[in-house]
Amino acid sequence: MAIVSPNNSSTTSAPQTSTSYTVPLTVVTTLFFMWGFLTCLNDILVPHLKPIFDLNYRQIMLIQFAFFGAYFLFSIPSAKIIDWIGYQRSMVLGLLTMGAGAFLFVPAASVPSYPLFLMALIVLAAGITCLQVAANPYVTVLGKPETASSRLNLTQAFNSLGTFLAPFFGGLLILSAAPKTIEEIRALAPDALKVYRIHEAASVKVPYIGLGIALVVLAVAIGSFKLPKIPQAQRKVGEKVNDSIWKHRNLILGAVGIFVYVGAEVSIGSFLVNYFSQPEIGGLSEKIAASYVALYWGGAMVGRFIGSGLLQRVRTGHLLGLCAVCAAVLVAISMMSTGHVAMWSIILVGFFNSIMFPSIFTLGVAELGPLTGDGSGVMIMAIVGGALIPLAQGAVADRIGIHHAFFMPVICYLYILYFALSGSKPNSQRVCT
């Protein structure tokens, strides 16, 4: 698998020359923006498709299950593709696959069919998985290893820029200004219900056609651009290593950390529109609530820009632990309050989510040496937490209500605190202590 750790001096990185990587990093950063934008559009699809197909919270969370489940299915195959055709061609393949997934929204909306929507999301996410597996490690090795964590946080900030803009875009073009209530929808005659579903589902066609075209154009642009090759970051075929990834506790616990972090972040984001629509929380329309969701993701963007600078001066584990505590406290405050306090406390969680993914990732693959590729594959597969935890929270919300179902992200953040302070220690530190 073609992934290399930025946190180990023995790990191969880009040659240390005076070469400037500003231009190629800028090009690759556009990929981070695109997959962040498309991922966050799921938060708009959740409240949009829920009444159209008369789904409960558990059923509508199949959107996130299908999307993030693709990470589990396609991360290892994507890594093999990178070993076969290299980083740049894999990025092109990922973009074209994403474009195909976007275009599949047209037949899904024309029927309309919820299973077809889920299939389109799986194809879309398969392409994003290929980009994740290629772009994250490419950024870490394209420059000095001592600044890799800061560099990955910076590029991830543009991923958050995409997640910040997506709710505005989705709320404007997808969500209806005056949607029918579920009672009004259930009262429609069968023929009228079919017409209503076709009309409402059709609102996704134009946005996703536009996105599909943009992805194809970006694929052509990336394919024609001459990105620097980094053969030192490629795994040598047939190389044997006298070690095992399962002997590195920080990797295993880090994979769990990625699992719960992505699960918590996606769970919160997925429920925000419905949460802010609750009378005791905000009583907002879905379209207005979507703009507040953008603030949640915008906080992550701001936090990553700040974190990129802080991580050059503060130990990663300490900053990660502080963010985990703040996130857990804010979610708990939202659960125990109502109105504006509940709204703004949950929105602020996005700011403290900011550095978590790149920090857990770099701590988890520390000191893996030649096994870094295999270990990083395990970390990417753990993104499946974004599929399972929202689904579980949806089932809980159906039973006890959406307000108190947020106890699940609190548990996730407490685990991240443990990982930051103890579980992230690599084998060399554990031997010394």
List b or e across 403-414, with b for residues whose CB sees 16 or more CB atoms inside 10 angstroms. Answer: bebbebbbebbe
Q: Give residue-wise pLDDT tens across range 1-34.
A: 444 334 443 334 444 444 567 788 888 888 899 9
In angstroms, rounded to a whole number, what is the distance separating the alpha carbons of residues 15 and 142?
9
- Which residue range is the domain that position 414 belongs to? 22-226+244-432
Task: For residue 272, give the amino acid letter.
Answer: L
Question: What total of structural domains would you count in the chain?
Answer: 1
If you average pLDDT over residues 301-318, what whole number do you get?
A: 88
Q: In this structure, is residue 237 part of a structural domain?
A: no
Question: What is the CATH number for 82?
Answer: 1.20.1250.20
Share of residues in the chain with pLDDT > 70 (%): 86
Is residue 164 within 8 A of residue 350, CB to CB? The reply is no
Q: In this structure, is residue 232 part of a structural domain?
A: no
Structure tokens at 350: 């996005």
Q: In this structure, is residue 13 part of a structural domain?
A: no
Candidate from 20-34, 50-64, 202-216, 387-401 with smallest mean pLDDT: 20-34
Q: In this structure, is residue 161 part of a structural domain?
A: yes
Q: In this structure, is residue 401 part of a structural domain?
A: yes
Q: In this structure, is residue 2 part of a structural domain?
A: no
Candidate from 108-112, 142-146, 264-268, 399-403 with smallest mean pLDDT: 142-146
Query: Is a pLDDT exceeding 60 seen at residue 233?
Result: no
SS3 assignment, position 26:
helix
Q: In this structure, is residue 307 part of a structural domain?
A: yes
Q: In this structure, is residue 261 part of a structural domain?
A: yes
Between 360 and 181, whose confidence is greater? Answer: 360
Is residue 230 within 8 A of residue 142, CB to CB? The reply is yes
Between 61 and 412, whose confidence is greater? Answer: 412
Q: Please tell me the pTM assigned to this model.
A: 0.76
Query: Is a pLDDT exceeding 90 seen at residue 135?
Result: no
In angstroms, rounded to a whole number, what is the distance separating the alpha carbons of residues 150 and 316?
10
Q: Give residue-wise pLDDT tens across range 267-301.
A: 998 899 889 999 999 888 887 888 888 899 889 88
